[in-house]
Structure 1
Amino acid sequence: MTGRGIDQVFPHPCPPHLYEPYVRDARDYVALAEEVNGPIPKPVGLDYIWGDALAELERRAPDVRLINLETSITTREEWWPDKGIHYRMSPAHVACLTAARIGCCALANNHVLDWGYEGLRETLATLRSAGIATAGAGTHLEQARTPAVLDVPGGGRVVVFSFGTRSSGIPPEWAAGKDRPGVELLPDLTLATARHIGARVRAIKRTGDLAIASIHWGSNWGYQVPSSQREFARTLIDEAAVDVVHGHSSHHPRGIEVYREHPILYGCGDFLNDYEGIQSDESYRGDLTLMYFVTLEPTSGRLLSFRMTPMQMRRFQACRASSEDSGWMHGVLDREGRRFGTRVTLEGDGSLALHWS
């Protein structure tokens, strides 16, 4: 979520005016963050927000770097009416994504059209010009449904599908149409929908390819995972040849399941946002975030290892979490994962390891 307050600390921010019920100036979010953790050295460099995450990415050296980009990248002024929150980042700041060598942005979420259809067009064009693949949104339905295909060094590909659901707050008018920009909005979480996705996955997936279903679903807060989500995620693995279910919308991490040796992330939590200083339920620790490093066997998609690095947002920057905070995150993920048959251990380097039977 690199828009709004975060955009304001970069060198060339969008105009700060907002159309929210309580906050009318995006710079107020900067002030709230500074009240908690001290001054932000404005303007910051475009790699600033990643902080310690850049070194961790270099150490882990993932073949593919995937994010859910929950903001519009535009200077358009036509905000979406009857919607309380509007995120946007200036196109001049797209290098904040290339600084971390992001390879793909999943876009089927409830903020990518905050600044209208033309704002979405500019978002897509900006990401394309930066060499970043997209999935889940387009200038028409066919483009929104087209997966991102990412080549992996040494052979094979990762195919990324991105889907949104009404439960995450996506307005129904955002569904892409034959001649209308928008996102791929799932009609429901039924077996028929999963099989329809499966036909599309099998039409493009080749031997040695891995398929990811990135889904924006559910509430912002709480650890409960609805049975409909769990059944649909498992059905995507059983019926749709999906290897990883990458779920998001919750502002904090939720429990992780491994089903038939394939990982299901029900809620990744936010990695970057401008919520620092905003009062929320402390039991969720929204300031703590995770980097997820998933290793799969390329010919079968079987999960080989699953590591996580706890981070903390301070002054709009991702910093390595303290040993105490890493221990807190370990306890939560281990507790929540047990209902799915997984457990988590805290490793000597402060990272977390997922275990499954």
Structure 2
Amino acid sequence: MLARLSLFAATAALLLGCVAEEQDRTPEPPEHRIPVSIATSLSRPALDLDVEQAEALVAGDIDSWAALTGQDEPLRVVRADDAPDEAIAAVLADDAAIALLPADRTRPTVRPATVGGLDPLDDDYPLTTSSDRPLDAHARVLIGGDVMLGRRVGANLAQRGDLSAVWSGIGDLLAAADATFVNLESTLSTAGPPQQGSDSFGADPGVLSGMRDAGIDVVGLANNHVGDYGTEPMLTTFRLLRDAGFAVVGAGEDLASAREPAIVDAADVRIGFYATDSIGETPAASPDSPGTNRIDAPPRTGPTIDQTALQRARDDITTLATQVDLVIVVPHWGTQYTNVPEPSQREMARAFTDAGADAVVGGHPHWVQGWEQHEDATVVHSLGNLVFDMDFMRETQEGILVEVLATRDQVLGVRPLPYVIDESFTPRPVEGERAAVILELARQASSPPFDGGLP
């Protein structure tokens, strides 16, 4: 018996030793590199640092803005550690503060500095730190404003013999995004009586090839021009867009189809687009007739907001939020030729974000308009024209693309990309003073924190 016990004890010791040895051999968790975002207040100009400045800031060797901008004022560095939202809140409360946080934990309410001209989510961004987790997958979505490919735009394209020429200035930019949306204010058939006289917009269906080549994925039709030539051309437009491979949102053969969201998968992020129209001219869809997803509202389609239709939209958005990672609502609303949003826009925007929208990006006014922040959701009231022949005032020839950066869990940034529409109706990106003029028009009508500057 003693011999057996001794043998058992020896065997157990040997097994325990093997287990301990095996535990010693357990591999360390892999080390990842996470980009470090240097986040500043929107009230400060965009900051581009060289690598030496960025590294000194992270090391704690800089305590004055003089080393970064030449301004002799104290600088406070707030490290996110495990509380990025608190670090961002510190920057919102104190524009002398800078937050250091993982690039996939930033927010639209602060401005990430570039390092060596590179954004924190660019592949070669040089400022990184070790992490026990990889960088979260993120998608880059571009949203463009009103696109009109008929009237003088269409005549110009026909004269040039290139129906895709209007995209030559920004096509590469659009195509580089993981998903791209535009609002198309043109029918693709004119086989019916014009409903708005010379303001009836019909485009050659051949424009669709250029739109595809420009990387456009989702086409919004919740607007006052998709019905410009009557019912049959409107139905033809729906069919031609879908046959060409576009996702369509905001109008349809009946109310059920007009309410349907467009859902796309981009860079491991599932994105849902939902569109509404509050302008009119195009018929509102009904249970058995085609048209737009209408919410009657001031100033064009009612003295007050149709609360039944607004609640219907809220319910649709809440349902969509359970199906996707990112919800973008694109309303057609407001007053033309002003940068100031209507009270009805603000009320509807609040309803959309309360229902689950992560971003609301509007159109129709033909000027850029102000921005708002509703907790974690950003509202851009109007992007201005993207492609149009309104060359009778400066503001109608200016606009912004909006870039939404998002992971599956949160929106990281909502950024304006300014452009100017040239004499051939082609939008071209701008920087410097011309860009500043465009952004200032939006800033003047924005709410905090965007009243201090846009991202």
Would the TM-score normalized by the shorter structure come out above 0.5? yes
Q: CA RMSD in A?
A: 2.2
Structure 2 residue corresponding to 1:298, chosen from 386, 399, 408:
408
Residues 222-277 of structure 1 show CA distances to partners (whole Å, capped at 9, x for unaligned) of 12222222122112111x1111112111111011112112110111111110123x
Contact 1:107-1:134 within 8 A present in 2 as well: yes
The answer as to 2:397 corresponding to 1:287 is: yes
Partner of 1:246: 361
The alignment partner of 1:157 has SS state of strand
Residues 64-121 of structure 1 show CA distances to partners (whole Å, capped at 9, x for unaligned) of 10111111111413222x6551001011221121121111111110101001111111
Contact 2:163-2:206 within 8 A present in 1 as well: no
Structure 1 residue corresponding to 2:272, chosen from 159, 162, 165:
159
Mark the CA change 1:115 to 1:193 in structure 2 (over 3 Å): closer, same or farther: closer
Partner of 2:290: 181
Partner of 2:315: 199
Larger radius of gyration: 2
Structure 1 spans left out of the alignment, 5+ residues: 12-41, 346-353
Residues 141-167 of structure 1 show CA distances to partners (whole Å, capped at 9, x for unaligned) of 21111111112232x4211111111xx
Partner of 2:426: 317
Contact 1:312-1:320 within 8 A present in 2 as well: yes
**Which piece of structure 1 moves more, 205-214 or 229-238?**
205-214
CA distance in 2, matches of 1:211, 1:322: 29
**Which piece of structure 1 moves more, 190-199 or 122-131?**
190-199
Correspondence list, 1:1-357, <5 A: 1-11=148-158, 42-58=159-175, 61-80=176-195, 85-154=199-268, 156-165=269-278, 168=279, 170-171=280-281, 174-188=283-297, 189=305, 193-206=309-322, 208-238=324-354, 240-276=355-391, 279-280=392-393, 282=394, 285-299=395-409, 302-314=410-422, 315-321=424-430, 323-337=432-446, 339-343=447-451, 354-355=454-455
Partner of 2:68: none
Contact 1:255-1:340 within 8 A present in 2 as well: no
Partner of 1:35: none
Query: How many residue pairs align between the two structures?
Result: 300
Residues 195-215 of structure 1 show CA distances to partners (whole Å, capped at 9, x for unaligned) of 332322333433652112211
Structure 2 spans left out of the alignment, 5+ residues: 1-147, 298-304
The alignment partner of 2:227 has SS state of coil
CA distance in 2, matches of 1:55, 1:343: 31
Q: Which amino acid in structure 2 is aligned with residue 73 of structure 1?
A: L
CA distance in 2, matches of 1:205, 1:319: 34
CA distance in 2, matches of 1:202, 1:309: 29
